[in-house]
Amino acid sequence: MKNNNAKIILLSLIVLFAVGFVGTAKAADTSLSIFPSTLTENAGSQFEISVVANTPGNKICAVEGTLVLNNLSCESITVLDDVVSQSSPTCTNPHFLIGIPNCTISDKALLAVSVKAGDSAGNASVSLKGVDIIDNNGKSISSDSNVGNYTIVLQNVPVKPVTPVTPVTPVTPVKPVNPVTPVTPVTPTQPAQPTGPENPQQPLQASILSSIGNGIKNAIGWIMSVFGRFMFNIVLGILIILILLVTYLLYLLFKKEKEQTETKEKK
């Protein structure tokens, strides 16, 4: 009888241990996840991640934890609308305590986090610390979480082909211009002294004498060529008489003109 009681007690302990183990294993599957868990982003780019409660059939009513960013800068943290934030996280203090109205047995997004990658290539990550997942009885059923790992790469910017530079044809140096020999200034010539305007009205006497002289010269030449020396002497005598006669006539003419001039001056 005692052996039967001992067997019953031992079997009960085994059943209780098995039930407790199954319950613990089921609760252990509950965790907080960073989504997406892997990602490749360009250096300097901004992107978003989410904190999600994974509840494979387990009822959870509240979660707690703190975000940890590695090689990423926090831009903003937003608590989603269908949960209640009892301790709102910020970029300077990323700790959160969030209640889920009416609890949930389905996976649920809790936070939206905007982060920015650094300017250099490398690895970055987002993790959680101090995780506590609470069920409807107020008991902690899990503290598990995963890590989001991200690869930061330099953005592939297409290199613009370099346009070859056209060689510049060297400019032929300009030959220096020979200096211009200064022109010797021309000494101005003295203007010719005016001789005075000619009297357009020459004296009547000069005109007559000139005509008589030319006539005599021509006559002498003609006479000598026709009549010879003897006749020339005769003709010469006649001419002398004519000259004397003409001279006398000119004298009378000059005298008359002089008298007329004096008469006009007196008037």
Q: Are residues 139 and 40 in the same domain?
A: yes
CB-CB contact of 35 with 50 (8 Å): yes
CA distances from residue 88 to 34, 65, 76, 82, 190 in whole angstroms, order as listed: 18, 11, 12, 14, 115
Model pLDDT, residue 14: 38
Model pLDDT, residue 264: 79
Q: Which domain holds residue 137?
A: 29-153
Model pLDDT, residue 80: 92
CB-CB contact of 115 with 41 (8 Å): no
In a domain, 90, yes or no: yes
CB atoms within 10 A of CB 111: 23
CATH of the domain at 119: 2.60.40.680
In a domain, 8, yes or no: no
CA distances from residue 116 to 68, 113, 120, 177, 205 in whole angstroms, order as listed: 14, 10, 12, 69, 131
Model pLDDT, residue 150: 96
In a domain, 165, yes or no: no
What are the per-10-residue average pLDDT scores of the chain (267 residues)? Answer: 46 39 53 95 95 93 96 95 90 95 93 94 95 94 94 75 72 65 63 51 62 73 67 75 87 85 77
CB-CB contact of 61 with 100 (8 Å): yes
Instruction: Look at the chain and report how many structural domains it folds into.
Output: 2
Model pLDDT, residue 190: 60
Q: Are residues 33 and 149 in the same domain?
A: yes
Give the distance, in angstroms, between the CA of residue 210 and the centroid of all CA atoms in the same chain. 96
Model pTM score: 0.50
